[in-house]
Amino acid sequence: MKRFDIAIVGAGIAGSALSAALADSGLSIVLLDKRTNSLDTARGDAIQPVMCETLAKWGVLQALIDAGAEKRYATRWFDSQGSEILSVPVEFNGLKAPWFRFLNHEVIGKCLIRHAIDGGAKSLEGIKSWSVERVPDGWRMEVKDSDGKAQQFSATILVGADGTGSLVRKQLRIKDQVHRYKYPIAVFWGRESSVSNHRTLDVHLTQDRIVSIIPRTQGGSKIAFPIDRSELSEWRVCESKNICTRLREWSSAIDLSQAKFGAIYLPVSVQTERWIGEGASVLLGDACHAMHPARSMGMNTCFRLADNLSKSLKDLGSGFSETDASEILVQFENEFKPIIDQRLAENHTAGQDMDTLAGQGFLNLKSRLQKASKNQQILQGMALSSAGL
């Protein structure tokens, strides 16, 4: 039976990021995914400046640039009258890349997977079902493809990177706390009437809801805001002209030349306990720490954790023992779980700010942003946090 050092269940951003970070490490890795099509393009697509440096270290940043990644220079906030409240630029502070890079989410995933495969990882797509059981010194897995053909292999480490409804988490009975936000996020694809060479992410505090205009490649934009479920059928069939007119009525600073309905995203917050059972296992990404998209932190958090975990795993060398792997994973969880828990709490607060259709102009949030705009220390802190420092 074929044995791998690491089996990663889920080839989304978290799973593909860890496998990409371990490319050319000499570790044997198998990556499993039920999907054969692209990742969900409605998800995050902005890479923090400090994570750009991390991806460059992995050897994957240039591939993202070659695939069309562009630069984003700031985040701007507007009030319900369309007036700019605050602009948070990317703070230099010695960064080699003092800007965000943004690229369509599905393209980021493809670049990571390709880098991992080129570095020696084995990718199994189109998995219809899989099962896992404990064996001495590891895990035995069986996977079946769409034709029902089965294959078995074993692995020393089992990584669950299979999303918010993680089957790894369920099978290992890892406890979790889940918060489902009241309002789904509607995502639209569009284009602003005027596209600056210095792209920014613009957040509009309209009278009743927060609207985000997120830059996409080649001058496009992703428009996202909460809706009531009863509005869904109306927005799905709304014509481009009517979408643009309605959003401009919400805020005069929103000026779109075209827009169409894209997708619905159901935001959820997931916080998990540590794995304390037998065997070397760890959760990554939404399986471990799903976040509301309000602060666009999910993907970048995956990059940060994948980078730090990969450093320790590389030191083990191929053929490592389960005992050594378990020690590494315990150390990793002890170091980073408190950090993740804090980020989840901060992100949840931002998610609750956005999870409303009755913001009344978001006066409290507007007041906080106005104070920040007049305080250089607070503004710098926001810039550093946004950049990932």
**Euclidean distance between CA atoms 29 and 19, whole angstroms:** 7
pLDDT of 98 = 79
Return per-residue pLDDT of the chain as tens, 389 residues.
799 999 999 989 999 999 999 998 999 999 999 876 655 565 668 899 889 999 999 999 999 999 999 999 889 999 999 999 998 887 766 666 778 899 988 899 999 999 999 999 999 888 899 999 999 899 999 999 888 889 999 999 999 999 999 999 999 999 999 999 999 999 999 999 998 888 999 999 999 999 999 999 999 999 999 999 999 999 999 999 999 999 999 999 999 999 999 999 899 999 999 888 899 999 999 999 998 887 778 899 999 999 999 999 999 989 999 999 999 999 999 988 888 888 888 889 889 999 999 999 999 999 999 998 888 888 778 777 777 76
Q: Do 293 and 344 touch, CB atoms closer than 8 A? A: no
pLDDT of 243 = 97
pLDDT of 222 = 94
Q: Which fold has domain 185-266+359-387?
A: D-Amino Acid Oxidase; Chain A, domain 2 (3.30.9)
**Euclidean distance between CA atoms 172 and 191, whole angstroms:** 45
Instruction: Count the neighbouring beta carbons within 10 Å of the beta carbon of residue 196.
Output: 10
pLDDT of 382 = 77
Beta strands (DSSP E) in the chain are 2-9, 29-32, 46-47, 70-78, 84-89, 100-102, 122-124, 127-135, 138-145, 150-160, 176-180, 185-192, 199-205, 210-215, 220-226, 256-265, 268-272, 280-283
**Euclidean distance between CA atoms 154 and 2, whole angstroms:** 6
**DSSP strand pairing (127-135 vs 46-47):** unpaired
Q: Which fold has domain 2-68+103-180+269-354?
A: FAD/NAD(P)-binding domain (3.50.50)
pLDDT of 125 = 87
Note the pTM of the prediction, 2 decimals: 0.92
pLDDT of 347 = 87
Would you say the CATH fold of 185-266+359-387 matches that of 2-68+103-180+269-354? no
**Residue ranges per structural domain of the chain:** 2-68+103-180+269-354, 185-266+359-387
Contacts 24+ apart (CB under 8 A), 89-92: 89/383, 90/49, 90/383, 90/386, 90/387, 91/380, 91/383, 91/384, 91/387, 91/389
pLDDT of 372 = 87
pLDDT of 44 = 66
